[in-house]
Amino acid sequence: MLKLANLGILLVLMSLSFVVTSASGPKDVEPSVEGSAKADKLDVCVAPTPFMRRNHFELIKHQRDITVHQGIRLTDDSLAGCIDCHAGKDTHGHFVPVNAKGEFCAGCHEYTGVTFDCFTCHAAKPTKTGS
């Protein structure tokens, strides 16, 4: 919890001190309320935070192949699971896309200058299953 709070403060400081260019996330989105994501209420992610910061993309990439080709969906490493847990809500209680400026994914990726392509196809916030 303490670590997540520290990360939050760090991100706020970063966004204040750097001019951040938004890559492709949705524009004009109301920011999420701090502490509104499921992850904010948990102590740890599926692995320790330092490991997740450096390796989350490896986990997701490995997972995508076994999900698409082998149909395995019950794992800790699914992108849908990441989004479900890390998407925050705005003041109206609506989910904010994780790739919107300053949100969970975009916050770090903008700072580090990493362009990522997940949300060209995948939903950036939890959606109903359709069925």
Which positions lie near other proteins, rule CB under 8 A? 64-75, 80, 83, 119-124, 126-131
Quote the least distance from Cβ 23 to other proteins, whole Å.
14
Contact 35, 42 (CB under 8 A): no
Angle between helices 2-17 and 49-70 (to 10 degrees): 90
- In whole angstroms, what is the distance from residue 97 CA to residue 24 CA? 12
Closer to other proteins at the Cβ: 34 or 65? 65
Closer to other proteins at the Cβ: 54 or 69? 69
Quote the least distance from Cβ 53 to other proteins, whole Å.
23
Quote the least distance from Cβ 43 to other proteins, whole Å.
24
Contact 104, 88 (CB under 8 A): yes
